Amino acid sequence: MSHVVTIETKLRDPAALSAACERLGLPEPRTETVKFFDGAEQSGLAVRPPGFVYPVLIGEEGAVRCDTDEGRWGDNAFLGRLKQAYALEAAKLQAKARGHRISETSLPDGGVRLTVTAGTAGFGTTGNAYGGLA
């Protein structure tokens, strides 16, 4: 073991967001302009979970607007599940682009662990190989 980095998940890559929606059984996110309850109009990629009054809107640099009115207009826990699915799919896309092998393990607490190995080629150079936003 050498180092541990904690990451604040940012939903910046549309490809990973699409894969996350597919993983969660949701429709493909589409670009929309949404007028929220407070009258504010915002544009971005709209994720529409079942039972939500307003979509979860992903704006520039992964900024998220999720208006659930403390659970009355949608499940407060959904955003965590979306971020989890996004992180897993973003890591998988990166591994695929770099030729790394990846295995997925479900954890007892609902978390998921990905194990990435590089084989004989090694982990190689830095940089974003698959073109997702860095």
Partner 1 sequence: MNPHIEVTVTPEGETSVETKGFAGTVCKAASKPYEEVLGSKSAERLTPEYHAAEQVAQPAEHRA
State in angstroms the smallest separation of the CB of 17 from partner 1. Answer: 12
Using the minimum distance from each CB to partner 1, give the nearer residue, 65 or 83: 83
* DSSP classification of residue 68: -
Inter-residue contact 116 to 95 (CB < 8 Å): yes
| C-alpha pair distances (Å), 123 with each of 99, 104, 127 | 9, 19, 11
Q: Using CA atoms, how far apart are residues 92 and 85, in angstroms rounded to an integer? A: 11
Instruction: Summarize as ranges the residues that interact with partner 1 (CB under 8 A).
Output: 1-10, 12-13, 16, 62, 77, 79-84, 86-88, 90-91, 93-94, 98, 107, 109-118, 122-123, 125-130, 132-134
Using the minimum distance from each CB to partner 1, give the nearer residue, 37 or 105: 105
State in angstroms the smallest separation of the CB of 41 from partner 1. Answer: 26
* DSSP classification of residue 120: G
Using the minimum distance from each CB to partner 1, give the nearer residue, 9 or 42: 9
Amino acid residing at 111: G
State in angstroms the smallest separation of the CB of 125 from partner 1. Answer: 7
